[in-house]
Structure 1
Amino acid sequence: MQETMIDIAVIGAGITGLVCARQLQQAGYQVVVLEKSRGLGGRVATRRLEGTWADHGTRYLEPQGKWTEQLIQSLSDRGIVHLWTKQLYQYAEGELSPQEPRPCYVAKDGITAIAKELGAGLTIQRQQRVIAITPNAGHWSLTFEGSGVDPLPPLQVRAVVVAIPTPQALMLLEPLSQEGLPEELLTTLRSVEFDPCFSAIATYAPNRVAELENLPWRGVLFRDDADLSWVGLESSKQRTTQQSVVVVQSSAQFATKYLEATDLQPIGQQLLTRAAETLLPWLDAPTVLQVHRWRYALTRTPLSTGCLATTNPLPLVCGGDWCSSNNLESALKSGIATAHEMNQRLDQRSLPILTFA
């Protein structure tokens, strides 16, 4: 990777970054995806547990527009996802009630299967955190910090796509204001605000499996609750399992209160206690509890554009679901828009129509 100039580096292996890289590679560009974590997908995340798994970020797939409909159809045709439920419930004002029916899909091996499909065939360097982007003699030079692995040597590229949450993007881009990066772009990035979330991933004794299977609900959305936003029966997504797994997600208000906590176990226990008070009394007594902090879970103030782009000082495009909303459809659309804008600033090749086959 160091012997020749790479066309495009995509920073971030979330859905937007993967879609963008996929499009540009299919157009003939040499593309490398750089990801600071071990896994792909960003918030489209699955936690592997002993003998089972849990989706602790994005909860399920649902048709939200043209691109999510095509994605679901393609993954369904290949047996990667299946219908989980048509009936979610909501908890509001002390009452549990069914919502309007709508199809919700899940992957048989966890929702990260979506990212794995989108990333198939791409060159992806994992556990490589980009810590600096600098212009150097007509190209970008990227510097790395390895996370559990040796960092890559500095990488030379013609152009950069930044597909990560805006606070992380700003840490890389603000130093470039002295190199000619437009202040307007930085100001726009600063205007995007995020809400955090905690996910409590709880495993229970095998004798709870039958009880969970007999519940009328698979997932519960909490409306205007001070502590909770979601309770999902993760084990119900798996067609064969002998374990009971539940994911409880916090409200933004709760997560903001405890965002900088160093010990996450008590935070997860609080969420389980609250879920036990409203849904099932035994939810506060798991056999195993893991907690994940999502610092940038949902976009509170999204933009109204597919991406942000500049050629000063060199070609650079920023994208993510924060460009227009905070859902999967927005991430897919931003990936397409980002690829288009980057292509316009480089060789203006013929970009293929996005497919998920």
Structure 2
Amino acid sequence: MGAGMTGITAAHTLQKAGRSVIILEKARGIGGRMSTRRSDEHQWDHGAQYFTAEDKRFVAMVESWQAKGIVKVWETPIGAWDGQHLSKVSRKPHYVGTPKLNAPLHDLAEGIDIRLQTQVTDIEKHEDGWHVFTPDLEYICEELVLAIPSPQAVALLPPKHPFYEFATSIKISPCWALLVHTPVALPFPYGGIYVNQGPIRWIANNSTKPGRASSHDGTDWVIHATPEWSLAHLEATADDIAQQLLAEFEHFILKQEPAFRYFNWQQVQVHRWRYSRYFGQIQLKYALHEDSLTLAGDWLSNGRIEGAFLSGLAAAEAILENKY
């Protein structure tokens, strides 16, 4: 279950190998943190911002998406702010799906039975396999993949299952995201900025990404708060979060251009990612398989989209080859 990069990669690989698969996804669409928020002519990649490719298996996949025109390199420079200076960051190629970040997932998901808006409430192991319960139906499967964040896996795993204690030990931080549109240019020439001071961690000019719609009539901005700030304000109202992060964003802009005064924010929205990035470091496992149940997700790798893809491959291989 789970229709993010991990779950769809696992299902795609298994289906190519001749297995029958169904994905259960509680959201209205696929992608997880690779989703895109739209409003009128504006759009924001409000979760994951881009992906890189190092492992040869993912490099080959990215090259195939590029050939189809659904992945392109985000060419605009990336900067970093250390509290005093804003400077360009040297980087490996950053890729984005076009016209939305989750475009590669739609490619992988072609032909897969995905049941959207389907909330799994419980799972149980019986002699005939795993029973998966939803408010409307009960599913029975020989193999079950939980491609979901560790806290959600903990809520479903039987307490005596071998993976329960490990999943409980993994803590994942939240992230508040601010989404705004401005009809005027802001005074810095970067597509994205890593912020290393204050409550903001990341600023992105989403309109500089290839294939985005609204670059001709203004700029769509995504601002991510730090994990610490997001956790401290986890239960704040959306209006309060918007006001505080807008104030911090304006403060950041004025540090770059003290004379700048034209703030005209439109389409202001916020989104809370309750499960965004895991705390600390864990040994790369990619997938855990035992008792016909597989745990998978980017939290078992490096927290990145490439790691999510490799976790999905590992989950499928664990089932097909009885690994892990």
Relative to the length of structure 2, the TM-score reads 0.90
Matched, 1:166 2:137: no
Any idea what the Cα deviations from partners look like across 1:114-150, whole Å, max 9, x if unmatched? 22122111110000011011123422221113xxxxx
Matches within 5 A, 1:1-357: 11-85=1-75, 87-145=77-135, 151=136, 153-175=137-159, 177=160, 181-182=161-162, 185-205=163-183, 208=184, 211-212=185-186, 215-223=188-196, 225-237=197-209, 238=211, 240-241=213-214, 242-261=217-236, 263-279=237-253, 285-301=264-280, 302-311=282-291, 315-345=292-322
Residues in 2 aligned to 1:164 and 1:14: alpha-carbon distance in whole angstroms:
8
Segment drifting more, 297-306 vs 191-200: 297-306
Q: What is the letter of the counterpart of residue 100 of structure 1? A: S
State the shift of 1:282 in Å. 6.0
Using the alignment, how far apart are the partners of 2:308 and 2:9 within structure 1? 9
C-alpha contact (below 8 Å) 1:86/1:101 kept by paired residues: no
**What's the CA shift string for 1:216-274, capped at 9, x where partnerless?**
21110112x2301111011222465324210100001110111122x112212211211
Aligned length: 314
- Cα pair distance change 1:67/1:222, threshold 3 Å: farther
In 2 relative to 1, CA 289–240 (structure 1 residues): closer, same or farther, beyond 3 Å?
A: closer
Letter of the structure 2 residue corresponding to residue 38 of structure 1 = R
Deviation readout 1:259-292 (Å, 9 max, x if unpaired): 122x112212211211211126568641221111
Task: Read off the aligned partner of 1:247 and give its amino acid letter.
Answer: V
The amino acid that maps onto 1:292 is H
Moved more, 73-82 or 50-59: 73-82
Distance change (3 Å), C-alpha of 1:107 and 1:307: closer
Which one-letter code corresponds to 1:200 in the other structure? L
| 2:257 alignment partner in structure 1 | none
CA RMSD in angstroms comes to: 2.0
Secondary structure, counterpart of 1:129 in structure 2: coil
Distance 1:119 1:78, change over 3 A: same
Please list every run of 5 or more consecutive structure 1 residues that lacks an aligned counterpart in the other structure.
1-10, 146-150, 347-357
Amino acid at match of 2:189: P
Structure 1: which amino acid aligns with 2:154? Answer: L
Aligned equivalents of 2:9, 2:273: Cα separation in 1? 22
Pair 230,174 (structure 1): closer, same or farther in 2 beyond 3 Å: same
Q: Deviations over 1:74-117 (max 9, x none)?
A: 22111112222252100112211111143222233110112212
2:105 maps to amino acid = A
- Flag the 1:22–1:120 CA change in 2: closer, same or farther, 3 A: same
Scaled by the length of structure 1, what TM-score is found?
A: 0.82
Distance (whole Å) between structure 2 residues aligned to residue 84 and residue 16 of structure 1: 23
Q: Name the amino acid aligned to 2:284.
A: S
Residue identity opposite 1:169 in structure 2: A
Is the Cα contact below 8 Å between 1:86 and 1:103 reproduced in 2?
no
